Amino acid sequence: MSDGLKLEALGCRSLNHLDLTILSGQAAGITGPSGTGKSLLLRAMADLDPHEGRMWLDDVAADQIPAPQWRFKVALLPAEAAWWYDTVGEHFEHWPPYGLEQLGFDSGVMTWQVSHLSSGERQRLALLRVLVNQPRVLLLDEPTANLDDTNTERAETLIDEFRRQHRPVIVWVSHDLEQLRRWCDPIYTLGNGRLAILDAGRIPA
């Protein structure tokens, strides 16, 4: 392996020792019933929760990379992202960031109060907040769960543009199997603490 993410005997809480390799430019989907540990797995991959086993990014072991730097490179978009400041723009280093128009916003959104955002607006802007840092690994936890069809398409298109331009590793968790079939290859199901291949649907060209 050269470019990509490798997990070896990764385990934490309900998850058994998992082995997984995902190459740069590849999107792997994970589905399964609620409560099986999908979000827990993503948090372990982002080194946010204690875990066993080892991880490598581009052949560099995680224990050789300072934790903040690993989390910058291996970025998690949680199902409900945290916001720390009053306005949207305070969460972005660059103003306005790339991708606003693709997600249906204009630069005026940077002045909006976070407390006034709808759940869908928060979700789209949280996706953008992750992408502007150009992570090597993009961990997506139900990234479109609160979006209508139009905004789901916008978010998926922006993720695909990012994949084509930067060739990150993508791990995409969703209950929407049709969505995973559109964008991910392979697709895994998580159950009883283990991953198993579910589907080998092709990534769109």
In a domain, 112, yes or no: no
Average pLDDT, the chain: 92
Cα-based distances in Å from 87 to 108, 122, 125, 135: 11, 12, 12, 23
In a domain, 114, yes or no: no
CATH of the domain at 50: 3.40.50.300
Q: What residues make up the domain containing 63?
A: 4-78+134-199
In a domain, 99, yes or no: no
Domains held by the chain: number: 1
At 13, the pLDDT band (50, 70, 90 cuts) reads: confident
In a domain, 96, yes or no: no
In a domain, 101, yes or no: no
pTM summary value: 0.93
In a domain, 106, yes or no: no
97-142 tens-digit pLDDT: 779 999 999 989 999 999 999 999 999 999 999 999 999 999 999 9
